[in-house]
Homo-oligomer: A and B are copies of this chain.
Amino acid sequence: MPQASTADLYSVMSTLRAVRRLKPDPIPDDVLERILQAAAWAPSGGNVQPWRIVAVREPGIRADIGKLYAPQWEKYSRAAKLNLEGLEGDVKAKQTRTLAAADYLGEHMGEAPVLLVFCFNPAHMAITDIDLDRPSVVGGGSVYPALQNAMLACVQEGVGCTLTTLLCYEEEAMRALLQIPEDWYTCAVMPIGFPILGGHGPISRRPVNKLVYEDTFGSAITLQR
């Protein structure tokens, strides 16, 4: 197996950020194919790959998806703006910029050259937490790794991307628009396109020692350098 240099994989991962201002310019087929191939390589439970992508490039269908997305985003955005009022300083400034970019996407999603609509079929999944008395997430374990691979490939290819799950609120309209069969459902829409501004870059995340415990929940891990 070829060994990649440490810098490459990790520089891709550490610069994957939501890119929400996308040029309408088409994505060349070879670039799109590498992004889709990355998704296809992802692991899934029992290697069943219980997901499909509808890659929407036809302008009329993209516009229709954009029209479904705009009011959903608008509703979310109103709540987020109320929330902003309680913030101050750098945090407020940063979230204001993020919201502005997301508002842009809300108005322009249909203009992104490709909308990747991820679909899944739960009948092909072993959802081990489906009977527990809490929200089930395990089905996502066989689809979201494919989305993550696709997004990492976007970074590699210089293609902007972001992911929304808001269109689950419009699943039946999406089903009609994309002719999705009854036993398949939608789990995310990923608009992709070349970035208008800086594209992928620095991200802010919690440090490892706030996310990882050792042996029992709540005991911060100690790692020797």
Contact = CB atoms under 8 A, between A and B. Distances in A.
Contacts of A8: 2, 4-5, 8-9
B18 A41 contact: no
Contacts of A201: 1
B168 A128 contact: yes
B225 A29 contact: yes
A9 B7 contact: no
A24 interface: no
Interface string A5-44: 1111111111111100000000001101110111111110
Nearest to A181: B217
A165 B40 contact: no
A168 B125 CA distance: 15
Interface residues of A, number: 107
A53 B219 CA distance: 11
Given A29-B223, A33-B223, A169 B211 contact: no
A143 to B, nearest CB: 6
A96 to B, nearest CB: 15
Interface string A119-137: 1101001111110101111
Interface string A196-225: 000111011111100111111110010111
19 contacts: A1-B11, A1-B15, A4-B4, A4-B12, A9-B156, A17-B43, A29-B224, A36-B212, A40-B205, A45-B165, A49-B205, A52-B212, A127-B135, A134-B185, A143-B144, A144-B144, A148-B148, A152-B152, A178-B215
